[in-house]
Amino acid sequence: MKNLKMTAALLAVCLLVPSACACTQSEPTVSPAPVSATSPSGTASSPEESPEEYLHPFDFDLAEYVQRPDLSSMTVDKEKLEEKTQKNYDSFLSAVTVKEDKGDGDTVEEGDETEIYYKGTLIVYDGPFSFTVGASGIAGFDEALTSAKIADGAATVTLTLPEDFALPKIMERGDDLLNKELAGKEVTLILSEFGAKLPASGGAVEGHLTFLYVFPGGTFDESSGATGYPLTIGSGKFIPGFESGMIGMSAAAGSKRTVRVTFPDPYNNNPALAGEPVDFEVTVLAVKTAKKFDLSKSEDFDLFKSEYEKKNGAGSLKFKNKDEIYENCREQARTTLIVDLIDAAAVMIKPHAEQEEKYKAIITEQFVMQYNSYYASMLGRMLTVDEIVQYFFSNDRQKFDDQIVTIAHKLLLRHMTVFLLAKEEGLDAVTDEEVTARLDELVEMYKSEKSDLTAKEVLDTLYSGSKAEIVKEIVTDRTLEMLAGKIKTE
C-alpha cells in the first residue's frame, strides 16, 4: 500500500489541524520551512541519537500504563466510511483549480469569481408622510414639487440638500451623523398615494414618501468610467447579505439584480450608514467558476494531471486513473476511522511523567512549525512561541499551554496503545536501515524545483530532529495495516 501512509507525523498534525487529514499521496502535511541550528522556540536542535535510544522509544512495560483495547468489539461504520471517502476525494480534487467562464443559462453560485458593477441606494425613509405644502420640513422639496411631473400616480423630484440639512422629526435618528452625510448631497424623493393631484401651497397632503440617496463608493456602469469590481461569492468582502443575495441570479453578462440588505451596526467604514437599509443594484460583467473535474473522463484526468504536476513537479501525480485515487481516499478514510476507534478505546492506567514532558516538547515544535509553514514565508523569518502566543492566543500563555498538554496527552496515549498492540504482534522491532530508508523516501518526495531538502533537514523539519519519531511512524504504519485486516466494516 505504497500510497497509504497515515503516518505518525500526519496523525500528530490531525490533532493540530483535523482538516489536514484528507486524501494524500503520502506527502507530509507540514510544509518544510527553513531550518537553523536553533529551533523557533529558542532551544538547540536535538543532539544525535544512538540507535539504542531511538529504536525502542518506549523502553518500559506499556501494559503498566495503558489498557489493551478490545479489538473484537470494533467495527468501522460503513456510512461514515463512504462519507469520509467522498470528503477526502473532494479535498484531493481541490488541489487543482481551473476556472471556466459562465454565461447564458448559468447562475451565480457560492465560490464563483465575479466581476460586477454595483451602486448602493440608501433608503433614508419609506413610509407614510403627511405635510402642508410649503412646510414639509425637507428643504427644497416643496419648491421642487410645484414643477414635478406626475407619472403613475407618483411625483419624483431630485434635489441637492443644503449644507445645514436636518431630517424632519418623523425621520430623525438618535444622532446627527446621517444629517451630516446627506448635507450638500443629491437625493431623490418620490411622493405617491396623495390622490388625484397635489394641492396648492398651504394645502394638506397625506401620502407615501420614499427618500433615496445614492451614496458614493460603488462602481456604477460603463458611463462612469469605472472598472468592474472583482468579488468571490462567499468571501465575506461585502456587508452581510450582499453576496448571498447574488446567488441564483443569471451569470450572463449584463444581468441585473437589486439586493436589499442592511448595513451592520456598528459600521466602521461609515458610521452614518450603520443599521440603515440599502438597495444595491448589481450588474454582472463576468463570472468564472472552478471546473468540476470528472476524472472518469480521460480529457478531465489529463487536464487534472497536467495542472497538478505544474504545481507539484513533473511525475508528482502517482495515480493512473480515478479508481486508484478514490481507492486511496477510501483507504485513508478507513485508516482515520480506525485511529478514531483506537482513540475512543484507549485508556491511560497511570501517567508516564517523562514521556508526557517529551511529547509536550514535540507538540510545541510541531505547533510552531504548523504556524510557520504559512507565516514564515510572509515574514521572512520564523515566529517564536512567544509571538504565536501573543498573536494567536491573545497573549494567554495558559490557553496555549493547555492546548499543548491536551494534544500531547492524546498523542502519547495513542502511540503507547498502538505500540502495545504492535508488541503483541511482533511489529515493534525497527532497524536503523529502515529508519534511513524512510528518510530517503521522504527526501525523494521533496525533490522538486521548489524544494531539495537533505535528510537532516527533513528530520529536523518533520520530526523535531528525533529519529525516535520515525520509529513511531513506521510502527504505527505496520500496526494500522494489521488493524485494517482485523477490524471489519459494517
Domain boundary assignment for the chain: 8-82+325-489, 99-290
- 422 vs 66: CA distance, rounded Å: 13
> Among 221, 292, 243, 220, which Cα is nearest to 108's?
243
Tell me whether residue 253 is exposed, middle or buried, using C-beta atoms within 10 angstroms of its C-beta: 0 to 12, 13 to 18, 19 or more.
middle
CB hemisphere CA count around 317 (13 angstroms): 21
The 10 Å Cβ neighbour count of residue 8 is: 24
Query: Could you report the per-residue pLDDT of 413-433, keeping only the tens digit for each?
Result: 999 999 999 999 999 999 999
Query: Could you report the per-residue pLDDT of 139-159, keeping only the tens digit for each?
Result: 999 999 988 888 999 999 999
Question: What mean pLDDT is predicted for residues 71-92?
Answer: 96
- 342 vs 396: CA distance, rounded Å: 32
Give the predicted TM-score (pTM) of the model.
0.67
Q: What is the DSSP letter of 38?
A: B
On average, the pLDDT of the chain sits at 86
Helices and strands counted in the chain (H then E): 14, 11
> Among 416, 266, 348, 329, which Cα is nearest to 94's?
329
For residue 181, is pLDDT > 90? yes
C-alpha cell at 222: 460603463
**Which CATH number is 99-290's, of 3.10.50.40, 3.10.310.70, 3.30.365.10, 3.40.50.12780?**
3.10.50.40
Return the residue matching grid coordinates 448589481.
282
Evaluate the CA torsion angle 214, 216, 222, 223 in order and state its sign: positive
For residue 221, is pLDDT > 60? no
CA angle 372, 363, 350 (to 5 degrees): 170
C-alpha cell at 190: 418620490
For residue 350, is pLDDT > 90? yes
Q: Which residues contact 174 (CB under 8 A, 6 or more apart)?
A: none
- 113 vs 108: CA distance, rounded Å: 9
